[in-house]
Amino acid sequence: AQSVTQLGSHVSVSEGALVLLRCNYSSSVPPYLFWYVQYPNQGLQLLLKYTSAATLVKGINGFEAEFKKSETSFHLTKPSAHMSDAAEYFCAVSGNFGNEKLTFGTGTRLTIIP
């Protein structure tokens, strides 16, 4: 079975500061991991994904995430926050072949302080 834990339901950072959103996973198979962003009243947009290639994954809008097997983590970072980054962020793990559902974390709402 797969599961994801996102630490911190709300994170606030100042504009220009480092963004760090935490995600820990549990998976019975080598994981495929995803970060999605949801802006108000919109659907989920893929930020980046890990599929067992490079452990440091670069995504859109300057975000990146590092897969650490020893820590079962896949934290999302961005060096310098922008006002437009304010949104809800979801970490997800894919199921195994035969049931490729995404299991999502509870989400982290990111607020940017001007």
Partner 1 sequence: DSGVTQTPKHLITATGQRVTLRCSPRSGDLSVYWYQQSLDQGLQFLIQYYNGEERAKGNILERFSAQQFPDLHSELNLSSLELGDSALYFCASSVGRGRDTQYFGPGTRLTVL
SS3 33: strand
Minimum CB–partner distance for residue 41 and partner 1 (Å): 8
**Cβ of residue 1: shortest distance to partner 1, in angstroms?**
12
Q: Which of 94, 99, 98, 100 is nearest to 74 (CA)?
A: 94
Binding part of the chain for partner 1, among 15-23, 69-77, 78-86, 90-98 by CB under 8 A, reads 90-98
Q: Are 83 and 112 in contact (CB under 8 A)?
A: yes
* Residue 62 vs 95, nearer CB to partner 1: 95
Among 1, 40, 43, 56, binds partner 1 (CB under 8 A): 43
C-alpha 59 chain-centroid distance:
10
Whether the Cβ atoms of residue 89 and residue 35 lie closer than 8 Å to each other: yes
How many residues interact with partner 1 (rule CB under 8 A)?
24
Alpha-carbon gap, residue 53 to 67, rounded angstroms = 10
Name the CA radius of gyration of the chain, rounded. Answer: 14
44 binds partner 1 (CB under 8 A): yes
Q: Does 42 participate in binding partner 1 (rule CB under 8 A)?
A: yes
Which residues lie near partner 1 (CB under 8 A)? 32, 34, 36, 42-46, 49, 51, 90, 94-104, 106-107
